[in-house]
């Protein structure tokens, strides 16, 4: 069992790398512990709450009890299936803001500024939103928009404009800031995962998938030469003639590095692991987005609640199975917004997903019946956590400590999110539809009351990243250099959301796929020419919040 390149993880970045390397004539093996991505739970967009709660498709990780969230352990789903988390996520497609990537470049990730990554976003996209020089139209990843025929979708955007915010036709184009249509990795009514976009084409070009649990990277004289796996109950080694690439997620990639002897020396020694390279940054710098659901009762029966019964769900499922249309063909996130929290903030730091139903991610619906909600949260929390080893046994889950809300600014930012959302829901556009506030509720007003609500109800948006931070090769806390090479060893790279120096603005699937695309080019010693498109920044950002 050997190939030029051995990739661990058939997720967003791993699938993209497999395709680009196979396309260049390289032999590729992809190791994936999970199984098939076939079946309606994954492929029907409207069923998105199911796969992320199914042991069959999810690693089933949980955070340690979070001290600033009342000791709650938060669910941390990661895809254990072909396509990885792109097969179980909410399918929302966000590139991130241009200034996110310029921040990466300034923090030591040379060659990862917006001008460097924009060509990769264009290369990967097949955008169905019209013609725009900002977007790609013939890439493998289909990106589309929902029909937005529910009147609440328009009401949300109108309310934002009435409150004084910008409108935007394309938050993934020149202008992220504002209210407008949301985009999704959905094609012809089905989820369009990285497995469909990249892995199937890679297999046609000769890439092989091996179902196995990766235990560690096999090192010889400071060089990665293969991956030790358990396959069919037996231990074996899959040999890499050129390089091993970890694309196992921001939770499993640092875990594999540490099991392989690469990480904080004292932590490894404490678990009896021989140290190959002392990299104190492995597992550190863990970041995520937290969000709240601000829920309103609806005074008209225009929400998706009408389908929230046995007959309704049967209708939605049957219509999707027969025609790939109807409510099941959308993730129902069809309107979005990115706004700035205050004057002096140069680019958006709050994101909205709008949903015409009052429901939780686990599928539990609000008792009030018809309702709608906005998912809202700050984009750039200053809190940092860590992923560490529970033991030297590869079968053990890693220890995941997000340390959510540990920075005092987080509380101020979240209170601001709630108050700004209430103002938006109070606009004239919502007057025909908005009833009582379900959550937090009208009586929750003071800072202390809002803080108690945040502590009890803040949920992860499932965007963990940053645990194998990319930086300059001489940065003692960086884990990989700007080509994704693990610093201090040979023949080993990491390419997934773990290499993000700082979390991007919005959902992480798009940026993770871009990382796979770009690292593949670094491996092949080629690079797309830079772009010089200048993004829209509010001319009033220094003096006005909107």
Positions at the binding site for FAD:
81, 89-92
Do residues 256 and 248 lie in contact, with contact meaning Cβ atoms separated by under 8 Å?
Answer: yes
d(CA 508, CA 95): 8
- DSSP for 388-422, written as a single string: E-S-S-TTSPPEEE--TT-SHHHHHHHHHHHHHHH
d(CA 242, CA 199): 21
Q: Encode 245-275: b = buried (16+ Cβ within 10 Å), e = exposed.
A: bbbbbbbbbbbbbbbbbbbbbebbeeeebee
Nearest-CA neighbor of 198 among 90, 126, 118, 114?
126
* Own/partner pairs, 58-63, CB within 8 angstroms, 24+ separation: 58/88, 59/251, 59/252, 59/397, 60/397, 61/251, 61/397, 61/398, 61/400, 62/400, 63/400, 63/401, 63/402, 63/404, 63/460
Known binding residues are: 81, 89-92
d(CA 135, CA 178): 18
Do residues 127 and 84 lie in contact, with contact meaning Cβ atoms separated by under 8 Å?
Answer: no
How many of the other CB atoms lie within 10 Å of CB of 439? 17
Of the residues 353, 407, 463, 522, only one is catalytic, namely 463
Give the three-state DSSP class for 379.
coil
If you count DSSP H runs as helices and E runs as strands, how many of each does the chain have, helices first? 13, 25
Give φ, ψ of 30 to 5 degrees: -110, 120
d(CA 359, CA 438): 11
463 flagged as catalytic: yes
DSSP E strands in 130-275: the ranges are 141-145, 178-181, 183-184, 186-187, 190-191, 208-211, 213-220, 223-231, 234-246, 262-263
Both tokens of 84, joined, read: 């990885």
For the chain, report the end-to-end CA distance as a whole number of angstroms.
58
Q: Find the DSSP H helices in 309-398.
A: 310-323
- Please give the radius of gyration of the chain, using alpha carbons only, rounded to the nearest integer: 22
Give φ, ψ of 227 to 5 degrees: -130, 130
d(CA 356, CA 426): 16
Do residues 39 and 29 lie in contact, with contact meaning Cβ atoms separated by under 8 Å?
Answer: no
Residue 442: partners with Cβ closer than 8 Å, 6 or more residues away: 436
Q: What is the largest CA-CA distance in the chain?
A: 70
Both tokens of 60, joined, read: 């089933």
d(CA 301, CA 311): 17
Residue 55: partners with Cβ closer than 8 Å, 6 or more residues away: none
Strand partners, 245: 7, 493
Active site residues per annotation: 463
């Amino acid at each position: 069992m050997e190939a030029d390149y051995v990739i661990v993880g058939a997720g967003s970045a791993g699938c993209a790398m497999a395709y680009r390397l196979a396309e260049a004539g390289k032999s590729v093996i992809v190791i994936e512990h999970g199984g098939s991505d076939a079946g309606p739970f994954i492929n029907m967009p409207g069923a998105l709450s199911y796969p992320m709660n199914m042991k069959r498709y999810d690693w089933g990780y949980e955070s340690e009890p979070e001290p600033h969230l009342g000791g709650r352990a938060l669910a941390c789903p990661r895809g254990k299936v072909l396509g990885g988390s792109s097969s179980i996520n909410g399918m929302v497609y966000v590139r991130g803001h241009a200034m996110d990537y310029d921040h990466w470049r300034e923090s030591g990730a040379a060659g990862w500024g917006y001008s460097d990554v924009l060509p990769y976003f264009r290369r990967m996209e097949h955008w169905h939103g019209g013609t725009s020089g900002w977007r790609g139209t013939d890439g493998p990843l289909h990106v589309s928009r929902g029909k937005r025929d529910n009147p609440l979708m328009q009401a949300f955007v109108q309310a934002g404009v009435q409150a004084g915010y910008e409108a935007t036709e394309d938050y993934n184009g020149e202008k992220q800031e504002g209210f407008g249509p949301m985009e999704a990795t959905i094609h012809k009514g089905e989820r369009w995962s990285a497995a469909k976009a990249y892995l199937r084409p890679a297999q046609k070009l000769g890439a092989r998938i091996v179902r196995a649990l990766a235990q560690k990277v096999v090192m010889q004289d400071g060089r990665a030469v293969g991956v030790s796996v358990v396959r069919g109950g037996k231990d074996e080694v899959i040999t890499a003639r050129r390089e091993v690439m970890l694309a196992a997620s921001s939770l499993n990639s640092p875990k594999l590095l540490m099991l392989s002897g690469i990480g904080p020396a004292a932590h490894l020694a404490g678990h009896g692991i021989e140290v190959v390279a002392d990299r104190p940054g492995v597992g550190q710098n863990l970041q995520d987005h937290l969000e709240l659901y601000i829920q309103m009762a609806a005074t008209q029966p225009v929400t998706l609640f009408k389908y929230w019964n046995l007959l309704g769900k049967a209708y939605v499922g049957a219509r999707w199975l027969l025609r790939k249309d109807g409510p099941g063909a959308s993730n129902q996130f069809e309107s979005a917004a990115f706004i700035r929290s205050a004057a002096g903030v140069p680019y958006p730091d709050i994101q909205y997903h709008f949903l015409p139903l009052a429901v939780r991610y686990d599928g539990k619906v609000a008792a009030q019946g018809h309702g709608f909600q906005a998912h809202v949260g700050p984009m750039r929390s200053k809190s940092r956590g860590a992923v560490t080893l529970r033991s030297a046994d590869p079968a053990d889950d890693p220890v995941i400590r997000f340390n959510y809300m540990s920075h005092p600014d987080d509380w101020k930012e979240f209170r601001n999110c709630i108050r700004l959302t209430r103002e938006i829901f109070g606009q004239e556009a919502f007057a025909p539809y908005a009833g009582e506030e379900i959550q937090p509720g009208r009586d929750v007003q003071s800072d202390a009351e809002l803080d108690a609500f945040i502590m009890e109800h803040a949920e992860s948006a499932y965007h963990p990243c940053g645990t194998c931070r990319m930086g300059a090769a001489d940065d003692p806390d960086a884990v990989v250099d700007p080509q994704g090479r693990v610093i201090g060893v040979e023949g080993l790279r990491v390419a997934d959301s773990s290499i993000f120096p700082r979390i991007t603005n919005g959902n992480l699937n798009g940026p993770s796929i871009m990382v796979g695309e770009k690292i593949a080019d670094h491996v092949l010693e080629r690079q797309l020419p830079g772009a010089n498109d200048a993004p829209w920044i509010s001319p009033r950002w220094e003096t006005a919040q909107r």
